[in-house]
C-alpha cells in the first residue's frame, strides 16, 4: 500500500471519529501517522493540523445545517485561539518528543474520563457578564493545545462547553469543530514555514478527512448523547493509555 493510501485511510478514520464527537480527529490520526505511516512525533503533530482544519470545516457545516452550533461562543473562542496557536506552534519543536507524547496522552485520558462520566449540566453554566471573558480564556487555552500538540483542542473544548457553559452535547461538538478552524489554519501556516509538514500525506489526508468528517457529523446527529460520549470516551482512554504507558521491550 502506497503512502498516499495510508494518508487517505488515516484521514477517513480521523475525519469520521473527529467530526462524530467534535474533537478534530487528531487523537486518531497522530497515533496512526507515527505508528503506521512512520512519521516522527513532531511531524505527525504538525501535519495533523491540516486535517484538523478540514475536519472542522466539513464537520461544522454538517452540525450547523441541523442548528447544532453556537456561533456566538464559536467566534469569540476561535479568535482568541488564533493568538496562542501561532505562539505555541512556533515553539513546539522546543518541547522534547517524549514529553510531547506524555502531555498528549494525559490530555486524552482526562478528556476520556470526563466524557465517560457523563455529568449532566446542560441548561446551566457560565452566563451574563462572565460569558465572553470565559470564552476568551477557553480560546487561549484551546489555541495553545492546537499549536503545541497539533490537535484541534476539542478534547477539552467539548467537555468545558458542556460542563462550564452548559451547552447540550451536540451543540458543544458542533461549536468545537467551528472553533478549531481559525486556530488550525494559523498553526498550520507556522508549521509550514518551518518545514515541519509532510506534503506526501497532505493530499490524502484532506480527501479522506472531507469524506469522513461529513459522514461522522451526520451520524453524530442521529446518535443519542450518552452512547456517543461513552464510545469515543473509551477510544480516547485506550489511545491516551498507549502514550502514557512505557513501551514493552522486545524479548530477546
**Each residue's pLDDT tens digit, 130-141:** 889 999 999 898
**What is the percent of the chain where pLDDT is above 70?**
89
Q: What is the mean pLDDT of residues 200-210?
A: 84
- pLDDT computed for residue 237 by the predictor: 86
Query: Which structural domain range is residue 109 located in?
Result: 3-244
Q: List all residues 6 or more positions away from 146 whose beta carbon is below 8 Å from its beta carbon.
A: 49, 52, 81, 85, 88, 89, 152, 153, 180, 183, 184, 187
- Assess if residue 100 is contained within a domain: yes
Q: What are the phi and psi torsion angles at 154 (to 5°)?
A: -65, -20
Q: What is the mean pLDDT of residues 82-97?
A: 78
- Assess if residue 110 is contained within a domain: yes
- Assess if residue 198 is contained within a domain: yes
pLDDT digits (tens, 9 = 90+) for 139-165: 898 888 777 776 667 777 887 888 788
pTM of the predicted structure, to 2 decimals: 0.76
- Assess if residue 250 is contained within a domain: no
Q: Are 123 and 172 in contact (CB under 8 A)?
A: no
- Assess if residue 150 is contained within a domain: yes
- Assess if residue 251 is contained within a domain: no
- The alpha helices in the chain, defined as continuous H runs, are 3-21, 26-35, 41-65, 71-91, 97-117, 131-149, 154-163, 169-193, 199-222, 225-244
* pLDDT band, very low/low/confident/very high, at 114 (cuts 50, 70, 90): confident
- pLDDT computed for residue 250 by the predictor: 43
Domain tally for the chain?
1
- pLDDT computed for residue 38 by the predictor: 76
Asked if residue 76 has pLDDT above 90, the reply is yes
Q: What is the mean pLDDT of residues 82-106?
A: 78
- pLDDT computed for residue 115 by the predictor: 73
Q: How far apart are CA 202 and CA 185, in angstroms?
A: 14
CA gyration radius for the chain?
17
- pLDDT computed for residue 251 by the predictor: 43
Amino acid at each position: 500500500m502506497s503512502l498516499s493510501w495510508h494518508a487517505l485511510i488515516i484521514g477517513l478514520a480521523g475525519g469520521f471519529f473527529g467530526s462524530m464527537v467534535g474533537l478534530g480527529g487528531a487523537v486518531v490520526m497522530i497515533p496512526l501517522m507515527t505508528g503506521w505511516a512512520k512519521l516522527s512525533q513532531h511531524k505527525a503533530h504538525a501535519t495533523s493540523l491540516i486535517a484538523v482544519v478540514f475536519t472542522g470545516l466539513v464537520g461544522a457545516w454538517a452540525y450547523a445545517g441541523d442548528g447544532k452550533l453556537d456561533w456566538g461562543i464559536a467566534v469569540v473562542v476561535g479568535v482568541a485561539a488564533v493568538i496562542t496557536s501561532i505562539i505555541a506552534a512556533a515553539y513546539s519543536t522546543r518541547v522534547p518528543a517524549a514529553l510531547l507524547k506524555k502531555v498528549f496522552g494525559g490530555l486524552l485520558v482526562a478528556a476520556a474520563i470526563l466524557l465517560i462520566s457523563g455529568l449532566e449540566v446542560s441548561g446551566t453554566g457560565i452566563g451574563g457578564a462572565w460569558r465572553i471573558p470565559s470564552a476568551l480564556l477557553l480560546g487561549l487555552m484551546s489555541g495553545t493545545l492546537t499549536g503545541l500538540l497539533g490537535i484541534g483542542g476539542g478534547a477539552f473544548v467539548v467537555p468545558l462547553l458542556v460542563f462550564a457553559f452548559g451547552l447540550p452535547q451536540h451543540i458543544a461538538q458542533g461549536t468545537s469543530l467551528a472553533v478549531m478552524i481559525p486556530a488550525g489554519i494559523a498553526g498550520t501556516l507556522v508549521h509550514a514555514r518551518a518545514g515541519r509538514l509532510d506534503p506526501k500525506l497532505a493530499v490524502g489526508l484532506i480527501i479522506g478527512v472531507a469524506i469522513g468528517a461529513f459522514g461522522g457529523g451526520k451520524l453524530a446527529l442521529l446518535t443519542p448523547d450518552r452512547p456517543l460520549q461513552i464510545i469515543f470516551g473509551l477510544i480516547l482512554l485506550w489511545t491516551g493509555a498507549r502514550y502514557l504507558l512505557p513501551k514493552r521491550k522486545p524479548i530477546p
